[in-house]
Amino acid sequence: MWKKVLIANRGEIAVRIIHACREAGLQSVTVYSTADRNALHAEIADESVCIGPPSVQESYLNQNALIAACQNTGAQALHPGFGFLSESAEFARLCEENGIVFIGPSPESIAMLGDKARAKETMKKAGVSVVPGSDGAVPSVEAAKKIAAEIGYPVLVKASAGGGGRGIRRVDNEAQLEEQMLVAKEEARRFFGNDEVYLEKLIIEPHHVEIQIIADRMGNTVALGERDCSMQRRNQKVIEESPSPLMTPELRRAMQEAAVRAAKACGYYNAGTIEFLVDDDRNFYFMEMNTRIQVEHPVTEWVTGIDLVQTQLAVAQGQPLLFTQDDIQVRGHAIECRINAEDPDHDFRPSPGTIRSLHIPSGPGVRVDSAMYQGYTIPPYYDSMIAKLIVHAPTRAQAIMKMRWALSEFIVDGIDSNIDFQLQLIKNKAFEAGTYDNTFLEHFLSEEKKNG
């Protein structure tokens, strides 16, 4: 049994993991860049270590500095959070080689699932339906033309190593294919250092519905219901909710069963999420598996009553899950709004700066995961998400009402934020009716632009 965990992340997720460590009786060590000297995660951990200058390459992505920080502080395990090194098989392996427990799946699972084209092949073999597309990566423009003609336009060119909504390009006809493929490859090379791409049929007006799973090292794998993440801007999630407005008991059973099969097919352990696209006829298709804790994990925690981060720590200690599939019930409705330091009136440009005054909403069924405090200066170097506002109520309509007052009481002065924009979305008829799909937000924004 280990007693000390190094948290290789920053912001609200680092704070969230510190809290889980405290409740599990574990010591926490955080790391920070020189730009994060005054950051909350550096202030409140049991110990904190400076690992480098602001640039992520030299700090939060600096693998050797992180291993050295574990060795110098005696941390025996490492939690990677999300983003940064959380999906690096190389780093998970480096931890193992240095006798540090990586709190996540095996390096082999991360490598296999991180190659999105290869992951789809594995899922197909396991009998999970996947989005129609190329068998693995496409070697050339000629090959892509042939495959696209077979599956039918429109298609998407997607980066095999992609993440965070990057490296995805829509192609409506053969004339656009070569150019869009080059653009996707270039973006993939720049962001992921790997320009391999694959093709997928564009699913028209789909819903993004994902299944959370958790598995122990003995092979027990449990599905924890779904999250609907169809409210997206540029393929990035903006609002998430559970249950999905389009869920039925039959669909949930089928999707959970497929998700567990998918996880078992790759010997998966720890927390993971299987992302599916669901069409109007409620057919669902595997898209990718995220091999880490996700931003939107609190909505699942709220409807299932299971603390996902504590469960991650427990299974990484080698403990068995304390619940089975039959114990899991989805109760009530949870919604999360991502609060970003950005200006919706200027194409959502990031808005770093000092928080002059702050009021964080609270009350029954309201949770805010954040690393903000009054007087805190948001540095310009990192992700613009500064908080997550999550509500829980017995019904969806009540959760929406709660989210409305919580958003209107949320005050962050000194910087621009998307709080008012989120309120507009929550009040929108399509959100209220639960009829929105993945294309809703882009349409909403182009309508707004037209109307000035």
Catalytic residues: 292
When asked if residue 196 is in the footprint of ligand ADP (CB under 6 A), the reply is: no
When asked if residue 236 is in the footprint of ligand ADP (CB under 6 A), the reply is: yes
**Which one of Mg ion, ligand ADP, none interacts with residue 139, CB within 5 to 8 A by kind?**
none
Q: Which residues pair with 5 in a beta bridge?
A: 28, 77
Interacting stretch for ligand ADP, rule CB under 6 A, among 95-103, 230-238, 400-408, 410-418?
A: 230-238
Q: Which of residues 148-177 bind ligand ADP (CB under 6 A)?
A: 156, 162-165, 168
Tell me the pairing of strands 349-350 and 377-378.
unpaired
When asked if residue 235 is in the footprint of ligand ADP (CB under 6 A), the reply is: yes
Q: And the tokens for 296? A: 């939107």
Of residues 27, 30, 290, 311, which one binds ligand ADP by CB under 6 A? Answer: 290
Angle at alpha carbon of residue 253, lines to 252 and 259, rounded to 5°: 85
Q: How many alpha carbons fall within 13 Å on the CB side of residue 339? A: 28
Of residues 438, 440, 441, 444, which one binds ligand ADP by CB under 6 A? Answer: 438
Q: And the tokens for 25? A: 């009786």
> Residue for token digits 């093709």?
199
Smaller CB distance to Mg ion: residue 227 or 252? 227
Question: Binding string, 222-261, against Mg ion, x = CB under 5 A?
Answer: ----------------------------------------
Smaller CB distance to ligand ADP: residue 164 or 375? 164
Q: What is the distance between the alpha carbons of residues 187 and 157, in angstroms, rounded to a whole number?
A: 11
Contact indicator for 440, 230 with CB cutoff of 8 Å: yes
**Residue facing Mg ion at closest CB distance:** 275
Smaller CB distance to Mg ion: residue 291 or 417? 291
Q: Which of residues 54-93 bind ligand ADP (CB under 6 A)?
A: 82-83
**Residue facing ligand ADP at closest CB distance:** 163
Buried-state track 82-114, b at ≥16 Cβ within 10 A, e below 16? bbbbbbbbebbbbbeeeebbbbbbbbebbbbbb
Residues 6+ apart with CB under 8 A from 191: 159, 162, 164, 166, 167
Residues 6+ apart with CB under 8 A from 19: none
Smaller CB distance to ligand ADP: residue 102 or 198? 198
Q: How far is the CB of 184 from ligand ADP (least distance, A)?
A: 12
Q: In degrees rounded to 5, what are phi and psi of residue 200?
A: -140, 145
Of residues 275, 336, 342, 437, which one binds ligand ADP by CB under 6 A? Answer: 275
Cα torsion for 80, 7, 209, 133, to the nearest 10°? -10
Q: What is the DSSP letter of 395?
A: S
When asked if residue 110 is in the footprint of ligand ADP (CB under 6 A), the reply is: no
Smaller CB distance to ligand ADP: residue 106 or 230? 230
Interacting stretch for Mg ion, rule CB under 5 A, among 29-37, 98-106, 270-278, 416-424?
A: 270-278
Q: How many CB atoms lie within 10 A of CB 189?
A: 15
Of residues 16, 79, 120, 208, which one binds ligand ADP by CB under 6 A? Answer: 208
Name the site residues for ligand ADP (rule: CB under 6 A): 82-83, 131, 156, 162-165, 168, 200-203, 206, 208, 232, 235-237, 275, 277, 287-288, 290, 294-296, 383, 438
Name the site residues for Mg ion (rule: CB under 5 A): 275
